[in-house]
Amino acid sequence: MSNLNIPVYLDYSATTPVDERVAKAMTDCLTLQGNFGNPASRSHVFGWKAEDAVVEARKNVADLIGANPKEIVWTSGATESDNLAIKGAAHFYSSKGKHIITVKTEHKAVLDTCRQLEREGFEVTYLDPEDNGLVDINKLAAAIRDDTTVVSVMHVNNEIGVIQDIAAIGALTRSKGIIFHVDAAQSPGKVAIDVNAMNVDLMSLCAHKVYGPKGIGALYVRRKPRVRIEAQIHGGGHERGMRSGTLATHQIVGMGESFRIAHEEMDVENARVEALRDRLYNGLKDMEEVYVNGDLEQRIPGNLNISFNFVEGESLMMSLKDIAVSSGSACTSDSLEPSYVLRALGRNDELAHSSLRFTLGRFTTPEEVDFTIAEVRKAVEKLRDLSPLWDMFKDGVDLDSVQWAAH
């Protein structure tokens, strides 16, 4: 196989391909010859074998985050985990208080869940991050009230890849007796996780960002001190009553195997991916008017979110037809609003419209990075030649002084 696979996939934060080893483990759990039983069947060997596989997967997921396997609840993915954690805890502890704190740069699975709780009568504080995307612990502390029951902060941001100081936040929430939920959809295998050292109470996880399958996730629910949540899906009382529904053995085995591999290989993989990310950045950073979005140090290895001033993101992606990336430009969304994450960093709308997110991963090669550098430079140059804003910038016009006719 060539080291340059076109189109080049640089959107690993959207999803990852399933690792061949994971796919093999999953296909062994489907057919008559395989491990197809219902893990809840207690009366025969088919059920017992399936349960054994689920137990092993549970251990693999727990090991990666420093948890006990009994603290892992299977769900359909991180979105469901976020819903179960935040609604579940907010509802359970609602007699103590009805105030929740989160951050404006959270994933929509958290923000929209909080909006729903607001409609139910809860109050939510949405903190502004600093310009580098990180939460100021003092501002978080100042937002805590006597009736605050849940704080939800993501570990790694999906757009800009910055890593929040979860341990510092956990120490604060633990001292105040507040439930701390962490959306960790983007962090397993990229940043070390220890739910005990970090004082995390609830943690959302999913498989498909870690070279596992889509459609499976987990919620870590702390046992000591015990954290309670109200179930959102009722049925057969699976997962100790917190999430009913027949366990999808093949999906669970896939997630377990993907987390086992991530745990085992993360040090080597992260060093390799970081070198590739730096290679990409070094190939672009000498261009005029390029800005990295989010902190470059407190950041996962595979993420580069960068704005090419005076070039609009969607047209840039149109030029990069052999490269799969994503953009914070409004034109790539249905809302016509640019990325709310970049706006929350205080980036002006122009730079938000001009951003591209490159996310590299397990199968990215140096040749693909070099190809990308060349293609991006060519496309930016072409579009700047087409851009009246670039003309004005080159003529020394201060674009902020121009009276634009907003439309």
Partner 1 sequence: MAYSDKVIDHYENPRNVGKMDADDQNVGTGMVGAPACGDVMRLQIKVDDNGVIEDAKFKTYGCGSAIASSSLVTEMVKGKTLDEAAAIKNMEIVEELALPPVKIHCSVLAEDAIAAAIADLREKRGETAPAKAESAA
What residues make contact with partner 1 under the rule CB under 8 A?
310-312, 314-315, 318, 329-332, 334, 336, 338, 348-350, 353, 385-391, 399, 404-407
Of 382, 383, 399, 392, residue with least CA distance to 348: 399
How far the first Cα of the chain sits from its last, in Å, is 49
Least Å distance, CB 335 to partner 1, is 10
Of the pair 179, 330, the CB lying nearest partner 1 is at 330
| CB of 383 vs partner 1, minimal distance in Å | 8
Strand pairing of 8-9 and 99-103?
unpaired
Shortest Å, Cβ 387 to partner 1: 4
Q: How far is the CB of 379 from partner 1 (least distance, A)?
A: 11
238/382 with CB nearer partner 1: 382
- For residue 5 the two structure tokens come to 């696979």
Instruction: Considering the complex, state which of residue 46 and residue 291 has its C-beta at the smaller distance from partner 1.
Output: 291
Phi, psi of 152 (to 5 degrees): -125, 115
Q: Which is nearer to partner 1, 1 or 404 (CB)?
A: 404
Least distance from partner 1 to the Cβ atom of residue 337, Å: 10
Question: What's the burial of 400, exposed, middle or buried (CB within 10 Å: 0-12/13-18/19+)?
Answer: exposed
**Closest alpha carbon to 308 in 254, 263, 351:** 351
Q: For residue 114, indicate whether it is catalytic.
A: no
User: What six digits make up the tokens of 103?
Assistant: 């951050």
**By C-beta, is 197 or 386 nearer to partner 1?**
386
Asked if 305 contacts 292 with a C-beta cutoff of 8 angstroms, the reply is yes
Neighbours of 108 (CB within 10 A): 12
Q: Would you say 195 or 316 has its CB closer to partner 1?
A: 316
Of 289, 222, 251, the C-alpha closest to 88 is: 222
121 C-beta neighbours (distance < 10 Å), count: 8
Q: Is the peptide bond before 188 cis (omega within 30 degrees of 0)?
A: no
**Distance (Å, whole) CA 16 – CA 230:** 32
Tokens for 398? Answer: 């201060």
Q: How far is the CB of 287 from partner 1 (least distance, A)?
A: 17
Q: Pick the catalytic residue: 29, 114, 206, 331?
A: 331
Catalytic residue set: 331
